[in-house]
Structure 1
């Protein structure tokens, strides 16, 4: 039953637009390089988030931004 719940939650998330996008940011001197690595959805009770990462970076940092923001500005 737990697998069905997790599968349903994942399917539901993929149909809903994320509340935040996850960006892996690497600073190289005066430039920063941003690569999208995942997304986050708010819980219905507004007390947390579900984060889905496509990759797990080993360096740099992860920045969460609202989807309409351009992280490069």
Structure 2
């Protein structure tokens, strides 16, 4: 795997009543090292409600390799 993940994994919990959803970072995804289609995903948690969101990291966002929580 490359050092920087291509995608960051979040679980998202909707709160209702017009409140913002709670986004919790739970892992990351890297393209397969052999160049084949797909990703390797590492999760530190698994969403109970089954909702997993993968998003490209924002510029300057910390990853596990440089001090982040993923």
Superposition TM-score, scaled by structure 2 size? 0.70
Q: CA deviation at 1:57?
A: 1.6
The correspondence for 2:32, drawn from 43, 56, 61, is: 43
The runs of at least 4 consecutive aligned structure 1 residues that moved more than 6 Å come to none
Structure 1: gaps spanning 5 or more residues: 1-12
Q: Any idea what SS the aligned residue of 2:48 has?
A: coil
Higher helix share: 1
Superposition TM-score, scaled by structure 1 size? 0.67
Deviations 1:20-62 (A, max 9, x none): 0000000011321000000000114250100000011212511
Larger RCO (CA under 8 A, 6+ residues apart): 2
Q: Does 1:58 align with 2:48?
A: yes
Structure 2: gaps spanning 5 or more residues: 62-70
Higher strand share: 1
